[in-house]
């Protein structure tokens, strides 16, 4: 299957950090369709050989196991070429057109890894140059707008040039193996479904914590913040995967219809829930692992009196028959105590206790997304402790069933961007976000953004290297629960 894959923003960070290494892995795994060409588009004055050289140098910064040796790179580099273009200049698109006209392909993928402000222009120009044919697919990287109106404007502009089936909106969390396994666990096994509801589940917690700060992206982050950067997209997509009803089949629209229903059922915000169930934080200087790191306000590109949040914790509910009354907690932040993402499903305790259990212990299922990828089932069991032998009551101890997918599937594992790029080349939309889903997610986060605009208190400080402001623990404690690391 011959393909041309065009990277707009071809010299940018995302291309060399994520996309090229992912394509190289696919090439190494022999899963990249044959007869492909990767065309990078950028403003720098480079020829094909110079671009290949640049990518080879950049590969030196890539994680060791994913790095090609010279011979491998030389073969992979044959696929790479470069077109110099200023995307804001209509006449520049002729150069791309003639490159594409050099050969017949089955598909052409236009990957927009540029500033979103260019999305509309690029789509218009692709149409003006006849580059939006039936075999063209377009990939859009986030952020797709900064609120509902700007998101709609982008979706409308792109929708005038491409049909929805040609549009691949990336949320790289959907490409993570653990998220696909969450769906497989729910819909490929009968075991959990009877328990997967309000009668048996006490609460659900989604945590996406990062140890890193904003790094070199201070000025980008200033206009973004954790709610737009992580909650509107990644965290809500995880919530959908947990809460959706079984789709009628495995087709993209069947899955996306069910996710949309979850987003539509999220409880609407009220002034009371906005002030009590949403906590925003901002990291201050701290000493994680004994090393001192600056606070957010001292980061490059950040306004010293900024009120941008680097942490969000919130509580919501899904107003439908399956989930009514079950709290869903979402928590994400930068410069936190650990880099890890997991979902914890906390089951209700047994209805009648004949054993003594350690305080607050009940069954839990933990879905680890990263760094570990696996499932952990927390059970209670009876060890032969001397105490119980002496007849002083039978006490249970927590035990874990631990499934490590990396160990089990090892080298067959496919990374998020590799999975998503292969899916785009294959025309498979299952793991991509439809415009109505995206708009619904914006509709839900917008009241929070508006509330913050009028809230002079600003974000609560938390020291770098901690789990965020104590108000986040207080919020969940009011329901009688605690975050997973506090058990
Ligand atoms: C991106 C955000 O979408 O996801 C980043 O813009 C964040 O701020 C990143 O660091 C986290 O992704 P991952 O895969 O490293 O958890």
The reported pLDDT for the residue numbered 287 is 95
In this structure, the residue with its CA closest to atom 2 of ligand 1 is 229
Asked whether 340 lines ligand 1 (CB < 6 A), one says no
Question: Each residue of 161-180: pLDDT tens digit?
Answer: 999 999 999 999 999 999 99
Nearest ligand 1 atom, CA 176: 14
In this structure, the residue with its CA closest to atom 5 of ligand 1 is 229
CA atoms of 284 and 463, how far apart (whole Å): 5
**Mutate-to-test residue for ligand 1 from 176, 217, 229, highest number of ligand atoms within 8 A of CB:** 229
3-state secondary structure (DSSP) of residue 312: strand
Q: How many CA atoms within 13 Å lie on the side-chain side of 144?
A: 30
Question: Each residue of 255-299: pLDDT tens digit?
Answer: 999 999 999 999 999 999 999 999 999 999 999 989 999 999 999
Sign of CA dihedral 164, 169, 171, 174: positive
Ligand 1 mean position, distance from CA 478 (Å): 30
Asked whether 229 lines ligand 1 (CB < 6 A), one says yes
CATH 3.40.50.300 fits domain 3-141: no
Ligand 1 mean position, distance from CA 370 (Å): 12
* Cβ neighbours for 108, distance < 8 A, ≥ 6 positions apart: 3, 4, 5, 6, 100, 131, 133, 135, 136, 137
Above 90 in pLDDT, residue 201? yes
Question: Each residue of 363-407: pLDDT tens digit?
Answer: 999 999 999 999 999 999 988 665 555 555 678 999 999 999 989
CB 428 within 8 A of CB 175: no
Nearest ligand 1 atom, CA 233: 3
Bigger pLDDT: 444 vs 414 = 444
Above 90 in pLDDT, residue 63? no
Q: Is the peptide bond before 178 cis (omega within 30 degrees of 0)?
A: no
**What mean pLDDT is reported for the chain?**
94
Above 80 in pLDDT, residue 477? yes
In this structure, the residue with its CA closest to atom 15 of ligand 1 is 210
The reported pLDDT for the residue numbered 382 is 87
3-state secondary structure (DSSP) of residue 412: helix
Percent of the chain with pLDDT over 90: 88
Ligand 1 mean position, distance from CA 58 (Å): 20
Q: Within the chain, which residue ranges are assigned CATH 3.30.360.10?
A: 174-414+434-486
The reported pLDDT for the residue numbered 359 is 75
pTM of the complete model: 0.96
CA atoms of 339 and 155, how far apart (whole Å): 33
pLDDT band at 67, cuts 50/70/90? confident
The reported pLDDT for the residue numbered 80 is 97
- Give 371's DSSP letter: S
**Residue that is written with structure tokens 């993570």 in the block:** 176
Ligand 1 mean position, distance from CA 167 (Å): 22
pLDDT band at 413, cuts 50/70/90? confident
Q: In Å, what is the CA distance from 9 to each residue of 40, 157, 374? A: 7, 19, 34
Ligand 1 mean position, distance from CA 235 (Å): 11
Nearest ligand 1 atom, CA 142: 3
**CA geometry: angle 473, 476, 481, nearest 5 deg:** 110
CATH class of 174-414+434-486: alpha beta
**What pairs with residue 39 in β-bridges?**
6, 81
Q: In Å, what is the CA distance from 92 to each residue of 66, 110, 116, 128, 194? A: 34, 16, 19, 12, 58
The reported pLDDT for the residue numbered 64 is 78
Sign of CA dihedral 446, 451, 453, 457: negative
Q: In Å, what is the CA distance from 298 to each residue of 282, 308, 465? A: 12, 13, 16
What's the burial of 222, exposed, middle or buried (CB within 10 Å: 0-12/13-18/19+)?
middle
Asked whether 171 lines ligand 1 (CB < 6 A), one says no
Catalytic annotation present for 234: yes
Asked whether 373 lines ligand 1 (CB < 6 A), one says no
CA atoms of 438 and 168, how far apart (whole Å): 12
The reported pLDDT for the residue numbered 353 is 86
3-state secondary structure (DSSP) of residue 58: helix
Residue 478 has which token pair?
């009011």
Nearest ligand 1 atom, CA 234: 3
**What pairs with residue 381 in β-bridges?**
397
Asked whether 141 lines ligand 1 (CB < 6 A), one says no
In this structure, the residue with its CA closest to atom 10 of ligand 1 is 210
Put residue 360 in one of left, alpha, beta given phi > 0 → left and psi -120 to 50 → alpha. left
Ligand 1 mean position, distance from CA 248 (Å): 31
Q: Within the chain, which residue ranges are assigned CATH 3.40.50.720?
A: 3-141
CA atoms of 185 and 192, how far apart (whole Å): 8
Q: Could you write out the DSSP letters of every residue in 420-485?
A: HHHHHHHT--TTSB-HHHHHHHHHHHHHHHHHHHT-TT-PEEEETTBSS-HHHHHHHHTTT---GG
Nearest ligand 1 atom, CA 217: 8
Nearest ligand 1 atom, CA 416: 14
The reported pLDDT for the residue numbered 25 is 94
Catalytic-role residue among 172, 234, 277, 368: 234
Question: Each residue of 91-133: pLDDT tens digit?
Answer: 999 999 999 999 999 999 999 999 888 999 999 999 999 999 9
Closest Cα partner for 377 from 388, 368, 387? 368
The reported pLDDT for the residue numbered 395 is 86
Backbone angles phi, psi at 267, to 5 degrees: -60, 135
Ligand 1 mean position, distance from CA 28 (Å): 25
In this structure, the residue with its CA closest to atom 13 of ligand 1 is 173
Biggest CA pair distance of the chain = 87
Percent of the chain with pLDDT over 70: 98
């Amino acid at each position: 299957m011959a393909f041309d894959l065009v990277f707009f923003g071809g010299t940018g960070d995302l291309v060399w950090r994520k996309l090229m290494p992912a394509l190289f892995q696919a090439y190494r795994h022999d899963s990249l369709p044959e007869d492909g060409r990767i065309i990078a588009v950028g403003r720098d004055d480079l020829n094909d050989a110079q671009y290949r050289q640049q990518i080879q140098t950049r590969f030196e910064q890539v994680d060791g196991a994913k790095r090609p040796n010279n011979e491998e790179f030389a073969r992979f580099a044959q696929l790479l070429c470069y077109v110099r273009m200023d995307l804001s200049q209509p006449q520049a698109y002729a150069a791309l057109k003639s490159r594409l006209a050099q050969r017949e392909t089955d598909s052409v993928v236009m990957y927009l890894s540029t500033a979103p402000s260019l999305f509309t222009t690029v789509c218009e120009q692709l149409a003006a140059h006849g580059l939006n044919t039936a075999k063209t697919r377009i990939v859009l990287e986030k952020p797709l707008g900064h609120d509902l109106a700007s998101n709609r404007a982008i979706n409308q502009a792109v929708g005038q040039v491409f049909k929805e089936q040609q549009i691949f909106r990336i949320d790289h969390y959907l490409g993570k193996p653990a998220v696909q396994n969450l769906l497989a666990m729910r819909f490929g096994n009968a075991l959990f479904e009877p328990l997967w509801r309000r009668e048996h589940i006490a609460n659900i917690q989604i945590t996406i914590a990062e140890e890193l700060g904003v790094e070199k992206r201070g000025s980008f982050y200033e206009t973004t913040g954790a709610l737009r950067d992580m909650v509107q997209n990644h965290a809500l997509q995880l919530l959908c995967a947990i809460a959706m009803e079984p789709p009628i089949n495995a087709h993209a629209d069947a899955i996306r219809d069910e996710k949309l229903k979850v987003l539509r059922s999220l409880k609407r915000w009220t002034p009371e829930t906005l002030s009590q169930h949403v906590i925003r934080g901002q990291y201050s200087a701290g000493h994680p692992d004994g090393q001192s790191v600056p606070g957010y306000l001292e980061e490059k590109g950040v306004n010293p009196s900024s009120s941008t949040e680097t942490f969000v914790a919130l509580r919501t509910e899904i107003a439908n028959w399956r989930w009514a009354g079950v709290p869903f907690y979402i928590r994400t932040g930068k410069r936190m105590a650990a880099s890890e993402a997991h979902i914890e499903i906390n089951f209700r305790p047994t209805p009648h206790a004949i054993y003594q259990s350690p305080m607050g212990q009940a069954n839990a299922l933990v879905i680890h997304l990263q760094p570990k990828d696996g499932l952990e089932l927390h059970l209670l069991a009876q060890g032969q402790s001397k105490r119980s032998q002496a007849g002083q009551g039978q006490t249970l101890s927590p035990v874990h069933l631990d499934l490590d997918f990396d160990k089990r599937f090892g080298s067959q594992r496919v990374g998020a961007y590799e999975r998503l790029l292969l899916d785009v080349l294959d025309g498979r939309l299952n793991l991509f976000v439809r415009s109505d889903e995206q708009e619904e997610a914006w509709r839900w986060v917008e009241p929070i953004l508006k509330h913050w605009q009028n809230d002079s208190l600003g974000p609560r400080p938390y020291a770098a290297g901690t789990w965020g402001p104590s108000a986040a623990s207080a919020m969940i404690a009011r329901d009688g629960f605690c975050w997973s690391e506090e058990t």
